[in-house]
Amino acid sequence: MSDSEEFDLGDIERRMSGAVSVLKEEFSGLRTGRAHPSLVEHIPVDAYESQMPLNQVANVSVPESRMLSVQVWDKAVVSGVEKAIRNSSLGLNPIVEGQLLRIPIPELTEERRQELTKVAAQYAEQARVAVRNVRRDGMDKLKHLEKDGNMGQDEQKAWADDLQELTDLTITEIDETLSTKEQEIMQV
């Protein structure tokens, strides 16, 4: 029985919770018509021959309720930051003033709100896929433990049921988080 400790349901739960945390972080970047630093902080920027989150190459602040200010630290990265913001799915058009980018936050139209709910749904699906991948890894580990004789068939089945229950709970949390975000986006 003690050999089954090689299967760590706590680790799997931590990895699934990580997928939900990433989703919530991505949702914080989906705007609801007001400026907030989290809107752009995690946009990947091509800088120094790699991809970095925008908040690692610039300071993001909110001088007005409908304006973001991005102070880029290195002149060489300004065009990369501008390009990353323009190419993001957020529909933002930064105004470059030296190493400072001003980003006006446009009023959300009904069409734009619907686009943002689609983006939110894509983020949620990515989180579901991540959770299912963690589940698959766990199931593979259980099968190997049983095949190698480190776990009985009944014990493997019990762990598999626990794993499936954890997966279902996590996917339900993702769906509820998506529903809340969609309501927030569509609220005028």
Kindly indicate the confidence band of residue 188, based on its pLDDT and cuts at 50, 70 and 90.
low
d(CA 4, CA 170): 24
Q: Which class is 34-104 in CATH?
A: alpha beta
| Amino acid letter for position 185 | I
Distance of CA 11 to the CA centre of its chain: 20
Distance of CA 34 to the CA centre of its chain: 20
Question: Token match 């760590």: residue?
Answer: 8
Q: What is the pTM (predicted TM-score) of this model?
A: 0.68
pLDDT of the residue at 1 = 39
Overall average pLDDT of the 64-79 stretch: 90
Do β-strands 100-104 and 95-97 pair in parallel, antiparallel, or remain unpaired?
A: antiparallel
The pair of three-digit structure tokens given for residue 11, joined into one six-digit string: 């680790």
Q: Which class is 2-26+109-186 in CATH?
A: mainly alpha
Please give the order of strands across the beta sheet that includes 58-64: 58-64, 67-72, 100-104, 95-97
Average pLDDT, the chain: 88
Backbone angles phi and psi of 69, in degrees to 5? -125, 125
Residue pLDDT, tens place only, 133-183 = 999 999 999 999 999 888 889 999 999 999 999 999 999 999 999 999 998
Task: Check pLDDT > 80 for residue 131.
Answer: yes
Domain ranges of the chain: 2-26+109-186, 34-104
Residue % of the chain over a pLDDT of 70 = 95
The pair of three-digit structure tokens given for residue 14, joined into one six-digit string: 């931590």
Residue % of the chain over a pLDDT of 90 = 55
